[in-house]
Chains A and B, each alone.
Chain A
Amino acid sequence: MNFSIYDFTSFTQWIDKVLYDNLPAFWAIAVEMTIIGVAILLFYALIGLFLVYAERKVCAFMQNRVGPNRVGPFGFFQTIADLFKLLMKELVYIKNADKLLFNIAPFIVIIASFMAIAAIPFAKGLHAIDFDIGILYVIAVSSLGVVGILLAGWSSNNKYSLIGAMRSGAQIVSYELSVGLSLVTIIILAGTMQFSAIVEGQANGWFIFKGHIPAFIAFIVFLIASTAETNRGPFDLAEAESELTAGFHTEYSGIKFAFFFLAEYMNMFIVASIAATVFLGGWMPFHVGGWEGFNHIMDFIPPFVWYIGKTFFIIWIMMWFKWTFPRLRIDQLLTLEWKYLLPINLVNILIMAFIVLMGWHF
């Protein structure tokens, strides 16, 4: 048993072996599933709480404020206090609402983001499922979340909610294209859709550098499109607070509102970690060709730290977007997608295919 913080493969295999040795196969797999489920759930909740805190701090610093600083050191436990507040709040039931759908909607949203997180490689060997179609799976699962938003907007029986849901539907359905196509650009370069293989393929250079300009363009397009897909500012038309009060979750309260809130932050985390994995090498350290000493130092930083660092860097950029830009209008949002991002993306794929064909990439 030689555990290392650099490679979790032996650790997970050891757990697997211990379980199968001591338990019948059925229970071994059941226990394994439970462990993974609980681990991801914990991770999910902790990251969600931390992201809310981080957003509040980041936006505060951008706005010349200090942000939460009352609960715990630097206000670190503020979101936990908020969580308890939300848990204890009354769940307001809306008269004339479709109760079943109204109650189901937050769960659909949160399950969609929960399913997506399963396929993300956190470090070498720390990976719940390594699908051969990893990227496709994430795109497929994350497209389910919009159903929850649509149902929430419709079943609240509120006109603001309905408009918010409509906007969100139009927005997510169109921006999914750009997210998919910008990932396809990298799939062409990587030659695989498997997350572990994509990360391994970046051992000698991240794809954003390997793929020259097309990869960089794809990265930018992915950033914009994924910000839009997660309904975050400046694309937060679905909940545009100055127009629709709170959009699709106007009527939600307490923990059900918290679910939407958490799902939004987790979606942000998921798209950021996909961007980090696909474009910035996931848990791979930063290497510069020829600088052996430098590369060696970089190798000392654990892969999980690399992964988290890259992910949070991208999350920070998305927060930077949100706290700088005014909101777009719905027609401008669709213009941006269909007139700018999509054509650029398609041309970009062609260029990337050409580069790969000619072998011009590293």
Chain B
Amino acid sequence: MKEIINLPVKNVEEEEYHINMGPQHPSTHGVLRLVVSLKGEIVKSLKPHCGYIHRGIEKMCEKDTYPQIIHLTDRMDYLSAHINNHAVCMLVEKALEVEVPERVKYIRTIVDELNRIASHQLWWCSFGMDMGGLTCFFYGLRDREKILDIFEESFGSRLLHSYYTPGGLMMDIHPNFQKNVKAFIKYFRKKIKDYDELLTGNIIMQLRTRGIGVLSKEDAISYGITGPSARASGFACDVRKHDPYGVYDKVDFKEILGTTGDTLERYMMRMHEMHESMKIIEQLIDNIPEGDYAAKMKAVIKLPAGEYFQRVEAARGELGVYVVSDGNKSPYRMKFRSPNFSNLSVLDHLSRGCKIADLIAIGASLDYVIPDIDR
């Protein structure tokens, strides 16, 4: 009895109120579990628990040949499937010192940017939905459907394409591809005004995001944040600009940098990026050179023994692929540096002292895709 009496009296105010947000929660966009400790409505700290959708992709890669790995990368950040494929393909091409045809580079760049727009459209949908404006979700999906139709016509599938192969493409683009892409850009230029009118300019949305979850440039760098989320803080980290691949060195586009680093800025970055992506596509779509859609590759691809690294700018940040090869047809070790994992790590830092509603807004502005976090 004595021990019980002698226990220090717990102050009611200091008691922590834990909430398990997820693994099944509407605004974690998948099976992510956030253990939030609250004081009233205010978030005191937050602990993400990942691994609910861990499929061991990196381990599975070790038994697959390089062409087979492609279809696994689709399933990491499923919203930028093409870009993930691009990373692995480029790594293999770099290791084997294969020069891919110009046509392939052009098509890959265009498709990457289309994929980026589609990804940002879905981000806009879910951002609007997390803010409570359900209508955004439907407008975003409606416009994303146009891109998916283009994808489906050319590549046969809508989300997980496995379109790139080491050395080139699975098949040539559909004859209608250029026409449809141009039609889409014309259409989307009109519809993106709706986005601005409906959500960007809205006073409620502005009040809820301005000055919330401010990420300084130093923190962005030290947490390893990349992509639009880091550029909102003024950290110039666009791989397309600083380590160009594809034909990004031939096109004119701006790397848009923000200043404030708050939720609204992160939102604006992605809105600007959609415009920039459309600009890139417009510059390339009429100039796709004629030629082969794939370089000649050996039937069995074996990478020379050694370590290889390749990075690309995925829709959410920098995706790095690291391969240790022992000269066999499968990698000895494969590691993906996924942007979402690093971006998630800053959530605790950003959301301390914010309200629950702010936590949702910050999470939506970081735009995490759970399968990419867990892999």
Contact = CB atoms under 8 A, between A and B. Distances in A.
A and B touch in the complex (CB under 8 A): yes
Interface string A318-352: 00000111111111100000000000000000000
A237 B198 CA distance: 20
Nearest to B208: A329
In terms of DSSP, what is the predominant structure of the interface of chain A? Answer: loop
A243 B27 contact: yes
B203 to A, nearest CB: 9
Interface stretch (B100-108, B277-285, B338-346, B351-359): B351-359
Given A62-B135, A243-B356, A323-B135, A330 B41 contact: yes
B320 to A, nearest CB: 32
Given A163-B41, A330-B355, A242 B132 contact: yes
Contacts of B25: 245
B26 interface: yes
Nearest to B19: A159
Contacts of A163: 41, 356
Interface string B9-42: 0000000010100000111000000000000010
Interface stretch (B52-60, B123-131, B182-190, B235-243): B123-131
Nearest to B24: A245
Nearest to B204: A326
A243 B357 contact: yes
Contacts of B138: 63-65
Contacts of A323: 134-135
B301 interface: no
Contacts of A324: 133, 135, 198
B37 to A, nearest CB: 11
Interface string B108-141: 0000000000000000000011111111011100
A329 B69 CA distance: 45
B205 interface: yes
Nearest to A323: B135
Interface in B148-180: none
Contacts of B27: 242-243
B132 A332 contact: no
A326 B202 contact: yes
Nearest to A246: B26
The interface size bin for chain B is 20 to 34
A241 interface: yes
A234 B204 contact: yes
Interface string A227-248: 0000001101100111111000
A158 B307 CA distance: 51
Interface string A283-313: 0000000000000000000000000000000
B360 A328 contact: no
Nearest to B359: A243
The interface size bin for chain A is 20 to 34
A160 interface: yes
B96 interface: no
A163, A237, A325, A328 — most chain B CB neighbours (10 Å): A325
Contact of B357 (A65, A159, A327): A327
A64 B131 CA distance: 20
B207 interface: yes
B199 interface: yes
Nearest to B130: A242
Contacts of A326: 128, 131-133, 199, 202, 204-205, 208
Given A63-B139, A163-B356, A327 B131 contact: yes
A233 B134 CA distance: 10
A46 B199 CA distance: 35
Contacts of A328: 204, 207-208
Contacts of A245: 25-26
A329 B218 CA distance: 29
A240 B355 contact: no
Given A242-B132, A326-B128, A326-B133, A160 B202 contact: no
Nearest to A244: B356
Contacts of A243: 27, 356-357, 360
B142 interface: yes
Contact of A242 (B26, B202, B205): B26
Contact of B204 (A59, A240, A332): A332
A246 to B, nearest CB: 9
Interface string A86-103: 000000000000000000
A64 B168 CA distance: 39
A64 B142 contact: yes
A327 B132 CA distance: 5
Interface of A: 59, 62-65, 159-160, 163, 167, 233-234, 236-237, 240-245, 323-332
Given A64-B138, A327-B204, 8 more contacts: A59-B134, A62-B135, A63-B135, A167-B41, A233-B132, A240-B132, A243-B356, A323-B134
Q: 4 tightest CB-CB pairs across the interface, nearest first? A: A327-B132, A326-B131, A63-B138, A326-B133
10 contacts: A159-B19, A233-B132, A240-B132, A243-B27, A323-B135, A325-B133, A325-B204, A327-B131, A329-B207, A332-B207
Interface of B: 17, 19, 25-27, 41, 128-135, 137-139, 142, 198-199, 202, 204-205, 207-208, 355-358, 360
